[in-house]
Structure 1
């Protein structure tokens, strides 16, 4: 028996409908049905019958409900901190895009540490992501919404990208008034054949722009090249506006993307993980103007 199926069973028993249970759990009804069938196979008996208004417990289901409820109560006692202790502790791993981790999350983590001094956070900010489905990470901030897996997913925030150049580059090569002015400029971007997500193909959305000739898999390396005067490139505004000496050009060209907040459905309610996700959701709400400036 997969013990992670028991919370699914308990929620269906409470809600008495697959759809309502799925909505409460943050998964689709197909997943709930599949997990119930797996549980029924494991115990060797039908647990629900389909009634006119939803799912009705069988006698075997009633028996399992009593046992599972007792187990849930024990688990709740284990999770409940001793009287007088409210601190969140433990260690969580968070996987985020390199730029978002370097230029946004890491700059604010001190406020989380102040609020939860016993919470340890491993911030994995790389080109590519760890997989919450395979339990490689507790929390992931992804560029696209996952289409499958036992996950809890929500849109974290939209963010905006623009073209940037250094003040020195513009002084040396002249201002940029339109796309035509970019045809003779050196462009900076990702290495085309190792772009780890299609959402990173920013330059494809700007018609008439030359292919980049200075390329890196790292958005931080691209930002450094742009700041050095080596050329022009696309950066998230939360990087471009924070980098000294960078100037946004062609204000009519704006590229929109989104970050998605993802946890595993079996662990997303753990206190440490909820403390981090609640903090991050509140943070992006306060910093909306930095992430998606008008």
Structure 2
């Protein structure tokens, strides 16, 4: 029996490590779930230990699995060079999977990726929107963009920049209910914001801390729902300025008293950081945040 891992087994492991799911890896590779499981089991027998363990967010690499994944990346790179023939292959290629908040995904990540793909057309980015803390071990996600400084041990954390949030009301709503002139006035209005019981990011508690008497009017896990609900007059919304200032029908209230600034951080796990495509995406995000610095900090933008 050979003691050398099969290249096919290594490539299967690499895809499971990137997706965190046997089923997703199978779809990407064009095989069935059983074939993926059989290749992983065979690789573990050859290497004499577990390469994957079940985590809360999918399959995660063990220490042995990380070594095998590094070998798999070398195999995948060799295949890309072979396919490229005489031309040097573009290392910024393949799929990069990332998570980020709704607003960041739409207004920062999207243009950053669009520009990056102009230079690297073989790059694809899968972007899942969510607002949560960074996970210590998250298999299948290359980059996590989170709000607030992450507490992670194995991953690399990079500060991208800051954004500002403020209290807003629609012009029609303010005509009907009056313009609040003090923080005390705000407490007489309903709040449009995140669902308190589902809020996983402690630093996003600002409106309930700044205006403790303000009651919830409409809550959602999606910031674009906050914006549209505020525009519709459901209440006053505590909104990212770079999202709200795009809409001329929204008016910022008490900007010198009710405001908060929060940082965006990118979290990249070790197995992902070795990929040129991942580092290129992170660099593109940092550049885009720098370009948008004034807008993120509350300078008005053109309406859309």
- Give TM-score, length-normalised by structure 1: 0.68
1:138 aligns with 2:159: no
Per the TM alignment, residue 86 of structure 1 is displaced from its structure 2 partner at its CA by 5.3
Match of residue 95, structure 1, among 93, 99, 105? 99
1:268 aligns with 2:285: no
| Partner in structure 1 of residue 28 of structure 2 | none
Match of residue 85, structure 1, among 83, 88, 106? 88
1:288 aligns with 2:285: no
User: In structure 2, the residue corresponding to 1:267 is in which secondary structure?
Assistant: helix
Structure 1 residues 186 and 211: alpha-carbon distance in aligned structure 2, compared to 1, 3 A threshold: closer
| Partner in structure 1 of residue 249 of structure 2 | 245
| Partner in structure 1 of residue 43 of structure 2 | none
State the distance in 2 between where 1:281 and 1:217 align: 25
| 1:98-153 deviations in Å (ceiling 9; x for gaps) | 22213432244322221221100001112446747332300110123332332111
Task: Report the count of equivalent residues.
Answer: 223
Deviation larger for 275-284 or 106-115: 106-115
| 1:69-99 deviations in Å (ceiling 9; x for gaps) | xx9xx88984995664353210110110122
State the distance in 1 between where 2:278 and 2:180 align: 46
Residues 202-213 of structure 1: matches in 2 within 5 Å? 202-213=206-217
| Partner in structure 2 of residue 185 of structure 1 | 189
State the distance in 2 between where 1:198 and 1:77 align: 41
Q: Does structure 2 retain, via aligned residues, the 8 Å contact 1:154–1:260?
A: yes
Structure 1 residues 86 and 178: alpha-carbon distance in aligned structure 2, compared to 1, 3 A threshold: farther
**Residue ranges of structure 2 left out of the alignment (5+ in a row):** 1-70, 300-304
Match of residue 199, structure 1, among 203, 210, 215? 203
Structure 1 residues 203 and 215: alpha-carbon distance in aligned structure 2, compared to 1, 3 A threshold: same
Larger Rg: 1
State the distance in 2 between where 1:147 and 1:130 align: 8
| Partner in structure 2 of residue 279 of structure 1 | 284
Per the TM alignment, residue 192 of structure 1 is displaced from its structure 2 partner at its CA by 1.6
Q: Does structure 2 retain, via aligned residues, the 8 Å contact 1:199–1:257?
A: yes
User: In structure 1, the residue corresponding to 2:181 is in which secondary structure?
Assistant: coil
State the distance in 1 between where 2:214 and 2:190 align: 8
Q: Does structure 2 retain, via aligned residues, the 8 Å contact 1:89–1:120?
A: yes
Structure 1 residues 153 and 112: alpha-carbon distance in aligned structure 2, compared to 1, 3 A threshold: same
Structure 1 residues 271 and 198: alpha-carbon distance in aligned structure 2, compared to 1, 3 A threshold: same
State the distance in 2 between where 1:209 and 1:255 align: 18
Match of residue 117, structure 1, among 118, 121, 127? 121
Deviation larger for 215-224 or 284-293: 215-224
| Partner in structure 2 of residue 46 of structure 1 | none
- Give TM-score, length-normalised by structure 2: 0.66
| 1:17-43 deviations in Å (ceiling 9; x for gaps) | xxxxxxxxxxxxxxxxxxxxxxxxxxx
1:257 aligns with 2:262: yes
**Residue ranges of structure 1 left out of the alignment (5+ in a row):** 1-70
State the distance in 2 between where 1:220 and 1:77 align: 40
Q: Does structure 2 retain, via aligned residues, the 8 Å contact 1:187–1:211?
A: yes
Structure 1 residues 244 and 117: alpha-carbon distance in aligned structure 2, compared to 1, 3 A threshold: farther
